[in-house]
Amino acid sequence: MTHSPGRHALAIPGPSVIPERVLQAMIRPAPDIYEGPFVEMVPGLIADLKAVARSRHQAAIYIGNGHAAWEAALANVIAPGDSVLVAATGLFGHGWAEVARGLGARVRLLDFGTAAPAGAQRVAEALVADRQRRIRALLVCHVDTSSSLRSDIAALRRALDESGHPALLMVDAIASLGCERLETDSWGIDVLVAASQKGLMCPPGLGLVFFNDRAEAARARCAPSRYWDWRPRARPESFYQHFAGTAPTHHLFALRAALDMIREEGLEAAWARHARLAAAVWAAADAWGRGGPLRLHLRDPALRAHSVTTLSIGAVHGTRLRRWLTENAGVTLGIGLGMGTKEDPRADGFFRIGHMGHVNAQMLLGVLGAIEAGLTALEIPHGTGAVEAAAAVLAAG
C-alpha cells in the first residue's frame, strides 16, 4: 500500500469531523441579514446554544476561532494592570495566559504540568495569599486538549467561595462543550469560552462566550473596545449589533444544523456516547501497552477527557505511526501538542486521538484498527487484543 483511496478519517482533536448534514446546511445562497428567516433564526439558535452550555445567562458570538474567544472574554472583564490567576494543565492553559499578558494583565501562573488536574488546594492557597484582592479572575481549561486532562470545575468554584475571594471563574470549554458534562450555571462558572469546531461539529470560525451577571458587572470597570464588547452582541438593539457587523451567515446555518443534531440525540446521550468511545480507546491502549511501549498519558481514568486521548509511544514512534497511518490507512491522528520534553523536544513520542463530536463506533474502530495495522507494519511491539477490547466496551453500551 502506498496510498489509500476511500474516505479519509480525520481523528485530530479539532477541527473535528463535520457531519454531512452540517455541510449541506451551508450550501445555499447568501441570506438577507436585515430581515426575514435568517434574522428570525438567530434567537432560537442562541437559546439552544445556551442550553448546550447549561447556562440561562447571556451568550455572545464572535467571528473568530478559540483564540478570539479567549481574547473576547478577557477584554470584557480584565483591564491592563489587573491580575489573573491561571491554572494551567497543558499548552492551552499557557496559551490563554499569553493572551491575558498581551492585554496587559499580570499573570500569576500555577503550572500543574501535563499530568495533574488544576488542584483546588493550590488555587485556594493562591487566592488566600492575595490579601489585597488583586486577582480579578481565575482562568482554567475544563479539558486541556494537549494533555487531555480534565479539571474539576465545581471544586475550583468551591475553592473560590471558601476563600471568600471575589475573582471570576473563567473556563475554557472549547474541547468539552457538547462532549461531556459541563454545567455552566450550577458549577458557578462566570465566563465560559467555546468555539464551533470541536464538540459542535462546525467549521472553525465562531468564538462563543457565555457570561453571567457577575461577569457583566465586572465589564463596567473595563470599558472593552467596541468590537470585543459583549453587551451589544448579547442584547442587541438591532440585528446588526449581534455580530458587530455582517453576521457569519453560513457558519450560523451550520451551527443550526449541529444544534438540531445534538437536540435530536439528547445532550446527555451525546455525553454518554463520548464516555463510551473514550473508554473504548482506553481499553485498546491498555491492551497494546501490555506488550510494548504504548501508554495512555494519564494513568487515572477519572482525569481523562472524553473528547481526546493523549498517548505516548516512546522515542520517535508517535510521528512514525502518524505518518504511516496518513500515507497507508487514510487516517490522520493528532500530533503530540505541547508534550515536548528535554529528551523529545518535538514530542515525536506522543500522539493524540480526537474522538469529539460526530464520531460513532465504526469510525472509532476503524481508527483503532488502522493503528493496530500501523504498529504491526512498523514492527512496534504491542500487546494483542486491542480492537477486541474496544469492541467489547462498545458492545456493553
Ligand X SMILES: *Cc1c(COP(=O)(O)O)cnc(C)c1O
Residues that bind ligand X (CB under 6 A): 14, 65-67, 92, 141, 143-145, 172, 174-175, 195, 204
Q: How far is the CB of 263 from ligand X (least distance, A)?
A: 23
Q: How far is the CB of 47 from ligand X (least distance, A)?
A: 24
Between 98 and 260, CB nearer to ligand X:
98
Between 145 and 310, CB nearer to ligand X:
145
Between 39 and 63, CB nearer to ligand X:
63
Between 188 and 203, CB nearer to ligand X:
203
CA-to-CA distance for 228 and 73, rounded, in angstroms?
8
Between 25 and 149, CB nearer to ligand X:
149
- Nearest CA to 198 among 140, 142, 280? 142
For the chain, give the number of residues.
397
Angle at 130 between CA 128 and CA 134, to 5 degrees: 140
DSSP state of 196: T
Q: How far is the CB of 117 from ligand X (least distance, A)?
A: 14
Grid look-up 500501523 returns: 374
| 303 and 149 Cβ atoms separated by less than 8 Å | yes
Q: Which 3 state secondary structure label does DSSP give 15?
A: coil
Instruction: State the cell numbers at 357.
Output: 463530536
Residues 6+ apart with CB under 8 A from 244: 226, 227, 232, 233
Q: Which 3 state secondary structure label does DSSP give 92?
A: helix
> What is the widest separation between alpha-carbon atoms in the chain?
65
CA-to-CA distance for 247 and 234, rounded, in angstroms?
14
* Alpha helix ranges (H) inside 103-202: 120-129, 153-162
Q: How far is the CB of 369 from ligand X (least distance, A)?
A: 26
Between 34 and 227, CB nearer to ligand X:
227
Q: Following DSSP, what letter does each residue of 263-305 receive, concatenated?
A: HHH-HHHHHHHHHHHHHHHHHHHHHHHTTSS-EES-S-GGGB-
Q: How far is the CB of 203 from ligand X (least distance, A)?
A: 11
Q: How far is the CB of 346 from ligand X (least distance, A)?
A: 19
Q: How far is the CB of 230 from ligand X (least distance, A)?
A: 18
Q: How far is the CB of 18 from ligand X (least distance, A)?
A: 15
Q: How far is the CB of 219 from ligand X (least distance, A)?
A: 22
Instruction: State the cell numbers at 318.
Output: 508517535
Residue closest to ligand X, measured at CB: 66
Between 25 and 72, CB nearer to ligand X:
72
Q: Tell me the Cα Rg of the chain.
A: 21
Between 144 and 344, CB nearer to ligand X:
144
Between 138 and 329, CB nearer to ligand X:
138
Beta 143-144 vs 206-211: how paired, if at all? unpaired
